[in-house]
Structure 1
Amino acid sequence: MDSKPTLSRKKFQIKVKTIKLLFVLMALVILTMIVVHPQDPLWARDRDNYELYAKYGFGYFDQYFSQGGYLSVISNEPLFISINGLLGYIFTPDTVVLILVGVGYFVTNFVISRENDYSILPVLMYLLLPQTLKNNVMQTRQGLAVAWYLFFLTQNNRFFKSFRFFSVFIHTGSAILIVADIFRSCMRKFNFRKGQMVVSFAVLSMIIAKVVPTLSQFVGDRRADEYDFLADSGVSGLAWIFWLFFFVIFFVISESDQYSDISLLGIIFYLSTYFNFDLSGRAFEFFVPVILLSLFRQKGSWEKYVLIFILMMYAAMGWYQNGGITGWLATT
C-alpha cells in the first residue's frame, strides 16, 4: 500500500535535484562568462603574464633547469607549465588564459554547490568575496590549483582522491592546504580531539612561517626573492578580529569531517601567523573555498546563519573600503 507514495516521493526528490542541478549549471555558465570575458587592462591586468606560459610553454622547464636543476623544475609548478604547454599547441595564448580562468572558476563553484545539494547560495557567496573573486580574475594559477584540489578532495575513490596533492605542482602556495590536510589525517588517526588538533597546528603554523623563507631559497622557488616574509606593518588587525570571531563560532558548531577540520586549520594558520608573516593572508586565500563549502554543509543552526550574514558583511566592507571592484583591483 505504501510503495506507490514512496516511489512517487523519490521521483519528486530526483526531479527537484535535477532542476537544481540545471539551475546551478546555467548560473555557473553565465557567471563564468562574466568572469572570463573582460579584457579591460585594470580588470585583467595580470593576464599578460600568464599568456607567456601559453606562448613559451615547455620552454620554462629549460629556464628553471638551468637555474637549479631538477629540484628547481619540480618546485616551480611543472603541472601548470605542462597544462599551458599542451593547450598552447592548440589555442592562442589569450584563449589559453581564458580557458584556465573559466575552468578554475566553474569547477570550484560546481564542487562547492554539489557538496551542498546543488545550492546556489555558496556560488553567490563565492562571487561576493573579494579574495575568491581575485583568485580567478587575476591569479589564474591559484584559482586552477584550488579547483584541482577541491575536485579531487571530494572524490570517493581513494586513488583519485590522492590526486589532490598534485595541486602543489600547479601553485606551490597550495602546499599549506596539503600540510593541513595531511596533518588533519594524522591527528584523526591517533584520535586527537578537535581542540588538540587546532592548538597543535597553531604551533606548527608558527614554525612554518619561520621555515618558509629558507625552504624557498633552498628549492629555488621563483618567488624566493620577491618577498621578505616579514611582518606586514600595514595591517590594521580588523581582519584578524573578524576571523577570530568567526573561528570561535565555527569551532563550536562545525562537525568533525574533513572539510570542517581543514577549514579550522586554515583559519588558525591565519590567526597564528597574521602579525609575523606577510604571506599569511595570501596563504589563507587557499582555504576560503573550503570554508565556504564546509559552512553551508553545517546543520541548520542559528549560528550557521549568523556566520553567513557576517561573512556577507565582511565582503561588503571589503568592497566598500577599496572603492568597489575597480578600486580594489587597482590596489591588489
Structure 2
Amino acid sequence: MENSNVIKFKPTPLYTVASFLLALIFASVLASLPVDAFVDRDNYLLYVTNSAELITRGLNEGFAHFLTNEPFWLFVNMLFSLVLSDQEAVRIIIFFSAFVSSYLILKIDSRFFFILFLFLLLPQVLKNYVIHLRQGFCVSVFLLGWFARGKYSRNLLILLTPFIHASFFFVVAVYYCNRFLGFLKFSSGLRLMSFALVGGSASFLTLALASSLGARQAGVYGENNLEISGLGFIFWSAVAFVYFSQGKEFIKENGFQIGMLVFYLATYFFLPVSARIFESALILILVSGLRLTSWRLQAYLLLFLFYFVMQWYPRFFQPGLGWGVENYM
C-alpha cells in the first residue's frame, strides 16, 4: 500500500540526483564546521566517551529508568566509540542527520524547491544539526520512518525514536493517536478536540511522570519557570487558522501535523518542553502547508517568509549566529 504520508508528486530522476547532491553538500558543510565552536558540543563529545558507562549506570537504576533515558542514543555512541575518535563520531552524527533530513525533504516536490530549502535553513530546524545533535539524529530517523514504504519498517523506525530523544514520546503518541482516530473515523472537529485534550493532559502530567520514572529531563525542566512572550503562540495560531480554513479533507490528510500544531498550542503556556516537542515535528508541519491551495497557500508562504526573516535577523549580530561559543578562537 502506498504511504499516504508522502505528498503525491513523483520527482524526475534528474531532480532526485540534484537533491542528493545538494543534500550531500549541505551535510558536508555542517559536518566540517569546527566541532568545539558551538555551544553544547562538549556534552556530545562526552556522550561518545562515556556512553558505555551511562548504559551500565542506567541498567543499574532499573529498566524503566533505562528506557526513559534515551538508550538507543547511548548505544549508537558506544558503537562509534569503538572505531572512531570523539570528534569523528560527532561529525558522522551531524553528517548522517543533515544528509538524511535534507535529502528526504528536498526531493518531495521540485515545484517548491526554494521554499523546501528555506525550511531546512530555518533556525529551529537548522539548530538540530548545529547544537541539538541528538534531536537532529532522532528527526532523521523519524523521517526515514515517515517516508518508508513498508509499514513494518515505518513502525519500527518511528517507535525507535523515543529511545533516541525523549521528546518523541509525545510525537509518537500524537502519531498513533491520529492513526487511531482515523480508524474510528472521527470527524475533523473531534480530532482537533482530541489533540487539544492530549495536550492539556500532557501539560499537567508530564513532569510528574518523568520524575517518577527517573528521566533526566524532569530535573532540568522542573526547576525552570516558563519564560514566554506569547508571540510564538500568536504566529502559530495564525498558521493553524490558515490550515483549518482549508477544510475537513486537509485536516484528515494532515492529521499528524495538525495534531502536533494543536498539541503545541494547547501546551504552550503550561509545559516547559512544549517548544522542544514541537520542533521535533516542525519540518513536517511546514511541509504540510505546501498542500494548501488558492489564497491559503499564498498567505501561508507570506507568513513563513515573515517568520524566517524575524528568526534570522537578530542572529546576525550574535557569535556563531546565536549558537557559537563566545570568544572562540
TM-score category by the smaller chain? Answer: 0.7 to 0.9
* 1:129 to partner: Cα distance: 1.0
Q: Which residue of 2 aligns with 1:39?
A: 34
Partner deviation per Cα, 1:146-170 (whole Å, 9 max, x = no partner): 1111111222211111111111111
Is 1:195 equivalent to 2:189 in the alignment? yes
Counterpart-to-counterpart distance in 2, 1:299 and 1:270? 21
* 1:59 to partner: Cα distance: 2.0
Look up the equivalent residue of 1:27 and give its one-letter code: L
Q: Secondary structure at the match of 1:54?
A: helix
2:222 to 228, 232, 244: 228
Q: Which residue of 1 aligns with 2:13?
A: 18
- Pairing 1:1-332 to 2, within 5 Å after superposition: 17-39=12-34, 41-42=36-37, 44-66=38-60, 68-116=61-109, 120-163=113-156, 164-228=158-222, 232=226, 234-253=227-246, 255-256=249-250, 260-296=254-290, 298=291, 300-324=293-317, 326-329=320-323
Asked whether the equivalents of residues 79 and 169 of structure 1 are also in contact (C-alpha less than 8 Å), the reply is yes
Q: Secondary structure at the match of 1:138?
A: coil
Asked whether the equivalents of residues 75 and 220 of structure 1 are also in contact (C-alpha less than 8 Å), the reply is yes
Asked whether the equivalents of residues 201 and 268 of structure 1 are also in contact (C-alpha less than 8 Å), the reply is yes
Asked whether the equivalents of residues 246 and 293 of structure 2 are also in contact (C-alpha less than 8 Å), the reply is no
Unaligned runs of 5+ in 1: 1-12
Counterpart-to-counterpart distance in 1, 2:161 and 2:111? 25
> Residue 136 and residue 146 in structure 1: after superposition, are their counterparts in 2 closer, same or farther (change >3 A)?
same
For structure 1, which segment, 55-64 or 184-193, has the greater mean C-alpha deviation from structure 2 after superposition? 55-64
Asked whether the equivalents of residues 230 and 276 of structure 1 are also in contact (C-alpha less than 8 Å), the reply is no
Aligned length: 314
Counterpart-to-counterpart distance in 1, 2:253 and 2:27? 25
Partner deviation per Cα, 1:18-47 (whole Å, 9 max, x = no partner): 1111111111111112222211644x2222
> Residue 242 and residue 282 in structure 1: after superposition, are their counterparts in 2 closer, same or farther (change >3 A)?
same
Partner deviation per Cα, 1:235-285 (whole Å, 9 max, x = no partner): 211111110000010122274477721111111111111112221111110
Counterpart-to-counterpart distance in 1, 2:147 and 2:128? 20
Counterpart-to-counterpart distance in 1, 2:30 and 2:106? 18
Counterpart-to-counterpart distance in 2, 1:195 and 1:140? 36
> Residue 74 and residue 259 in structure 1: after superposition, are their counterparts in 2 closer, same or farther (change >3 A)?
farther
* 1:58 to partner: Cα distance: 2.1
Q: Which residue of 1 aligns with 2:4?
A: none
Counterpart-to-counterpart distance in 2, 1:291 and 1:127? 12
> Residue 129 and residue 268 in structure 1: after superposition, are their counterparts in 2 closer, same or farther (change >3 A)?
same
Greater radius of gyration (CA)? 1
Counterpart-to-counterpart distance in 2, 1:59 and 1:85? 9
Look up the equivalent residue of 2:16 and give its one-letter code: L
* 1:127 to partner: Cα distance: 3.0
Q: Secondary structure at the match of 2:216?
A: coil
* 1:301 to partner: Cα distance: 2.8
Counterpart-to-counterpart distance in 1, 2:253 and 2:214? 32
Q: CA RMSD in A?
A: 2.4
Q: Which runs of 4+ in 1 moved over 6 A?
A: none
Q: Return the TM-score normalized by structure 1.
A: 0.87
* 1:72 to partner: Cα distance: 1.3
Asked whether the equivalents of residues 230 and 277 of structure 1 are also in contact (C-alpha less than 8 Å), the reply is no
Counterpart-to-counterpart distance in 1, 2:179 and 2:193? 15
Identity %: 23
Asked whether the equivalents of residues 87 and 96 of structure 1 are also in contact (C-alpha less than 8 Å), the reply is yes
Asked whether the equivalents of residues 259 and 294 of structure 1 are also in contact (C-alpha less than 8 Å), the reply is no
